[in-house]
Structure 1
């Protein structure tokens, strides 16, 4: 399946869209003021060890302390017996070399590891490993003869006496010797820079920053299936061409400077796709639809038939809707970058054969995802529970913030509810303070309701407490805001 990559670059942000079959499949956004830090290497300082959680907080220079769990604490072979508690391995004030595994998410700080890995186009370098230049090969290269041939070819290129281990990525199978040597030089030079910085700088300090999003397009996102990489910035086109020539030569010919009159992201309706990806409802071509709700702990997806009545029987209608939903869900997970626990409520199917077919369709489409996913069979309640590795903020968390009116609830109390809340509060304050009069300041809708539908209840309260109540509309108040002034 031929794909196209659009790279829109402005001084404030870089946006990347991956297009397949004329539709946006993935969106990546990096802002200059809030660039992601996954892959960065820091010299950090342990600020607090938490034995009860078997973890530690580490200052790496961010607003929030980062989090290091004992399972992510690497030690040379045989120097850390199994089940050694973290308080015997690190201490408060210790200077420590760490790498970011996950960006800060919501209220959580960054997740760290002390096992450093540096990624190239075709290789991943593990410089701390001391097991004699071990070579691991991507599981996606499954032919034994190809694996053996690639390993022997790479062994002949490895520098003699250099410590560390390497993982050969899937792209290494198609790389020539020169491309592998380019990766080796880049990775060795990067690690030397980290080592020198760790000796010269004080904690907290950034020792290595991962590539920019535009550069990661060439290293991580572009594949053999990529036809063109269109870039709308002449300056950055030249920079990426130079980068590709040095580190990803097989991608250089795919780079194209976009000179069209229309903005690049107007192609394939990309801007509109971004806006649709921020909504709860996703319409299916058949007339059915999905409802996607993202919470702090999980994402839920509900499948509905809507107006679809195109199949011969109701069971066929449900089956066809669920099949289309499985395809769309896999795409929406990539597009919205949803991660963590995901619960899918497909429309109930009585046929085990239909359930298996829908699950197969979901897994087939999830296989296109570069992020690791895992889907379980249908549960006894008819739900599919799955996970998708979460390493950065979702599209909604990146582009949006909680509504100041509803505070992220997604709904507000009705004007009637606010009226009754105000009436109760007036009665409470009458009993506590016994003022001469009350003045209610609220939104126009609430005041209008007091003057119309709730005028009888307001009059009853005035008569009961024997005090005047004045009304004042405030245009700047949202529906849930009000003040009760005592005179």
Structure 2
């Protein structure tokens, strides 16, 4: 039976920045931050212009007015044309598939429409008959035909209506789809859904699923589809109708704006961060909603009076003397987002390292190791670490590939316990994830949905000293590089006794000053060059500059 967790939503406004914290049992579980210069774009709809089509990648690059072109994979190109229907008619399962579709919006800012029907997977161990081989071949031909059809339909300079499903990360542009969806409180509208109606898997009652589908089907205009969200369970028809009317009004506005639009142009902007968070996070177990801003408080109250009138009593305006996060004891949790090391209550700790390809988490027993038998100690530390790892993934909004190096355990049953514990914790995470059991080396592999840069990337800047590696070049390595430069310079000079100025970081200058022989004198005796060393705080510890003293010219690059 699922434990009922006490949850709070804290909405903190500091200047132009808005911070929304989800607190579970007194600890920070999720933090969403929005600044004017980094507004969220998930769910935004653009009229884009196709820049180029790369059939080998099965994708098109679309100009939507951002720094980098958006990436539109062929599988995300929606179509209801007859030639597409002909390609997939053998797999058409509108009615049968609808009941099994999950709510794609259970933890995201927007929902995705059900993907085009795919070939059913072959049961394990089933022998390939001639008929099966023929079917597989037909499926491959259909997929190839579909790819070619999309490539032919998408041409450079074509206008196309697209929606952002993943924000730009690093040098990669936004991930786009042309399967447009508009998310509401109780359902997600599919303007090109063709009558498809899906219900969240979390609505388990067959009777309730049938009631919801029947209600929504009776309300939907012809040609539209919908995904019914979990929070719609047991809701009155009037509320569902109000939600649908709002979504249809938004779609009407989009259609009207499209009439005079020129690509690239923003057609529809997702709801404010407050409305989006309330839409996706407001559940019956949220016991308190607090805002420190009157404008946010009013917006929150207006939304809840419509969406969940019985929860109005849980909304309040913060009037404490301490800052909101300090008053609720989560300020330190916010600061911990930048820490590599996270301590466990038992005395163990985890180390979180970000690399270009993945995030690596190392579990250590710390001072807890000597208190118990090794196997029991390893199991308890690993179980505690599993809970903390999931909490940190949610808190830091880490996505992509995550590799966790647990403490080695001898008993396979204990490895299974850690795997089960991790799966149980991930069920509370709204982001989709996949997990593999521990390997023989104690390694667990996880993939977690990534729709925007991690919180650490959005809140922090790359270190200018180490370039994000966390390691700076040793001072003596820089000194060796300086001396190598001088040898090369001296060998190429026909006239001795040249005069140079060396600018170097104070941290590198320190050991040079402490040497037995004065460095300038040593270099003169070795190379017959007069060098005057100057401290320059603007330089990193792995950098230096040589200047010609007479002309003032920087000659460093000439002899590197």
TM-score, reference length from structure 2: 0.83
Question: What are the Cα deviations for residues 350-408 of structure 1, in whole angstroms up to 9, with x where unaligned?
Answer: 11011011111111111111111111111233210011100111111011011111111
Distance 1:432 1:71 in 2: 61
Residue 171 of structure 1 is aligned with which of 223, 226, 231?
A: 231
Q: Residues of 1 paired with 2:432 and 2:494: CA distance? A: 64
Shift of 1:141: 1.6
RMSD (CA atoms): 1.9
CA distance in 1, matches of 2:229, 2:311: 16
- The answer to whether the aligner puts 1:94 opposite 2:94 as a matched pair is no
Is 1:375–1:387's contact at 8 Å kept on the other side of the alignment?
Answer: yes
Answer yes or no: is the 8 Å Cα contact 2:520–2:532 preserved in 1: no
Question: Structure 2 vs 1, CA of residues 41 and 454 (structure 1 numbering), >3 Å: closer, same or farther?
Answer: farther
Note the alpha carbon deviations across 1:463-487, whole angstroms, 9 max, x for none. 2322233222223333222112245
Residue 79 (structure 1) aligned with residue 83 (structure 2): yes
- Is it true that 1:110 corresponds to 2:174 in the alignment? yes
1:21 equivalent in alignment to 2:25: yes
Q: Is the 8 A contact 1:278 1:395 kept in 2?
A: no
Identify the residue that residue 119 of structure 2 maps to in structure 1.
Answer: none
**Which secondary structure does the structure 2 equivalent of 1:200 belong to?**
coil
Q: Once the 2 structures are TM-superposed, how far is the Cα of residue 119 of structure 1 from its aligned partner?
A: 0.6
1:226 maps onto 2:286 in alignment = yes
Question: 2:545 matched to 1:483?
Answer: yes
Q: How does 1:120-139 map to 2 (within 5 A)?
A: 120-130=184-194, 133-139=195-201
Distance 1:376 1:426, change over 3 A: same
Q: State the shift of 1:249 in Å.
A: 4.0
Task: State the secondary structure of the residue aligned to 1:64.
Answer: coil
Matched, 1:335 2:399: no
Distance change >3 Å, CA 19–CA 454, structure 1 → 2? farther
Taking the aligned partners of 1:341 and 1:250, their CA distance within structure 2 comes to 41
**Other structure's SS at 1:385 match:** strand
The match for 1:148 is 210
1:59-458 aligned within 5 A: 59-76=63-80, 78-80=82-84, 81=87, 82-83=143-144, 84-85=147-148, 86-130=150-194, 133-156=195-218, 158-159=219-220, 161-249=221-309, 251-309=311-369, 311-433=371-493, 436-453=498-515, 455=517
Give the 3-state SS of the residue equivalent to 1:308 in structure 2: helix
Deviations 1:289-341 (Å, cap 9, x if unpaired)? 10001123211000011111365311111111101000100100000000000
Rounded to whole Å, the distance in 1 between the matches of 2:51 and 2:472 is 42
Q: Which runs of 5+ in 1 are unaligned?
A: none
Return the alpha-carbon distance in structure 2 between the equivalents of residues 251 and 121 of structure 1: 15
Whether 1:467 aligns to 2:471 is no
Which one is further off, 250-259 or 384-393?
Answer: 250-259
SS of match in other structure, 1:462: helix
Q: 1:12 — aligned with what?
A: 16
Judged with a 3 Å threshold, the aligned counterparts in structure 2 of structure 1 residues 273 and 174 are, in CA distance, closer, same or farther, namely: same
Q: Residue 149 of structure 1: CA displacement? A: 3.1
* In the alignment, structure 1 residue 3 sits paired with structure 2 residue 7: yes
Alpha-carbon deviation of 1:60? 1.1
Structure 1 residue 283 displacement after superposition: 0.7
Distance 2:514 2:316 in 1: 64
Cα distance change on mapping 1:473 and 1:398 into 2, 3 Å: same
Distance 2:343 2:516 in 1: 40
Q: Per-residue CA shift, 1:88-125, capped at 9, x if unaligned?
A: 12011101000001011111111100000111011011
Q: CA offsets per residue over residues 224-276 of structure 1, 9 Å max, x none?
A: 11011101111221122223334554554432111222111113332221111
Matches of 1:111 and 1:419 in 2, distance apart? 46
Matched position secondary structure for 1:469 = strand
Alignment deviations for residues 42-70 of structure 1 (CA, whole Å, 9 cap, x no partner): 11111222223221221112122211111
Q: Could you tell me how far apart the structure 1 residues matched to 2:370 and 2:256 are?
A: 67
Distance 1:309 1:380, change over 3 A: closer
3-state SS of the aligned residue for 2:376? helix
Q: Please say which of residues 362-371 and 372-381 is displaced more in the overlay.
A: 372-381
Structure 1 pair 145–128 and aligned structure 2 pair: CA distance change class (3 A): same
Contact in 2 for aligned 1:340/1:390 (Cα 8 Å): yes
Aligned-partner Cα distance in 1 for 2:81–2:420: 41
Q: Deviations over 1:408-447 (max 9, x none)?
A: 1211112211111111111122223456133321122222
Q: 1:250 & 1:39 partners in 2: Cα distance?
A: 29
TM-score by length of 1: 0.94
Helix, strand or coil for the counterpart of 1:448?
Answer: helix
Aligned residues: 483
